Structure 1
């Protein structure tokens, strides 16, 4: 039985096409029903595919004359959409030749081209970038927006909550995800007018398949106190980068502590299983696959430096969202929001 067909920007990221193709091979070993369109320099991509005999029958290579670089501005990328591996992968989703697209390339370019080609779902003003972040709980945390929109009004935040909850229901199987708004405090009187208006709208929209649980501060993000965290892109990106920087700081601090003396090296041997668990939990490859929610199609952004494992995890996210119809779920949920809370949130 054939599964989703995924369009892969094989030239995207720091290690294209080797890492994307290796990631596709790992994804196929996990789920043999997957099929792929690989976009990139045909000779280079074919050479990498030849390294993975198990890909036979699962991939089709589509030549792309150019690739988007990390230095390309979104406006430049849009003008080259029809000749680049990234642009052609997105176009395949638009034309229905692929069920989702995955790229490890330039985030700004990917967002710009995806928005132009796929457009936003009716009822969504702006797409948002959502990702899975590690927590102390059973499930990763869905957080959005992580940088696509630096300024958001209350209606945008409510829409993000709807999209994030739909995402959490698919990736974690949670019937009513707990949703909270990122704020400088948990008290109802704290925060911007936009946050207060969004909170009021979410409290009124009780027919949505989510459980709104108020505000949360950034120091509680990893405590599994919510399934979905909603923020404007400016604050969300800062929170994300702070979490990533803290994770690197902790691992570097442990490395320094364990190599400072003979006794500490001996202690490292005793604590090695715990350190390994920490490394696995903080490894970004294990949480790879940010999604542009709110578009008429599925586009997944991988870390630029992702390994084959990271690419495979991003592919898994894309396949799951395509199979379970994330776009139609968002459309269905938007219909459940009474008009008055959105309008009052946007115009209060």
Structure 2
């Protein structure tokens, strides 16, 4: 006869197993397809400027069979953005570019900027998810190269977007002069912050209405430098918002050194005596080897930039 203690233990194990199975079914089979638009308003434009709508895309991690994701992304042009900011990791498979084309072609007439994530260069591979609790992931050799040159050709020649990998530029979007600078993937130490001061100086000479900083991985060194370089707002990705979050707590990991409470969404970043809005997108995709989202829906951000009106410059909506 089974003792009461043993029956209680078996019941507890059964409940834990059922909860775990239900969580896996939700995260793998349902939530990773619940694509979401996060909307924010940020007052950083000069007084009298007309608002502009910024579509922030990140971490698409496209594989050719991901038709549902491609179709959803292709609808985003209906949001009528004035500017696209793409913070990298567009590719997730050697044949992912065809899916990226299907997803982003409707945005051909919209000005844009982009930077690379490491997964625009290197194919994904399996990782033990518990290793992320030990700190940011390490480089793995011989992952297989992706065709980043074909991706660049598409983003620049077909879409007309500006490459901000350790570079900067000034351009117009909906009648607003935009200064923009960025770095390549700081997670792989491809950022060249020492090369940006003359770039930033040239941008400042053009006196744009607003200046943005763009990075894939929002490492503290990059966010501090961008703030001190005079960015009016910073855009980042990479974290996947934690990808698996604890309800009521938030992200458990960020795969970089950003504070966990800033690993997703709109917040303020302070450095060098300045505070600027920071938007970290949880991204649209995931590695093909980790097809799960829990309490962290795949997302894009639609950020309306407004004229300054004497109120705090970062607003959550």
Q: Give the TM-score normalised by structure 1.
A: 0.30
Structure with the largest fraction of strand: 2
Structure with the largest fraction of helix: 1
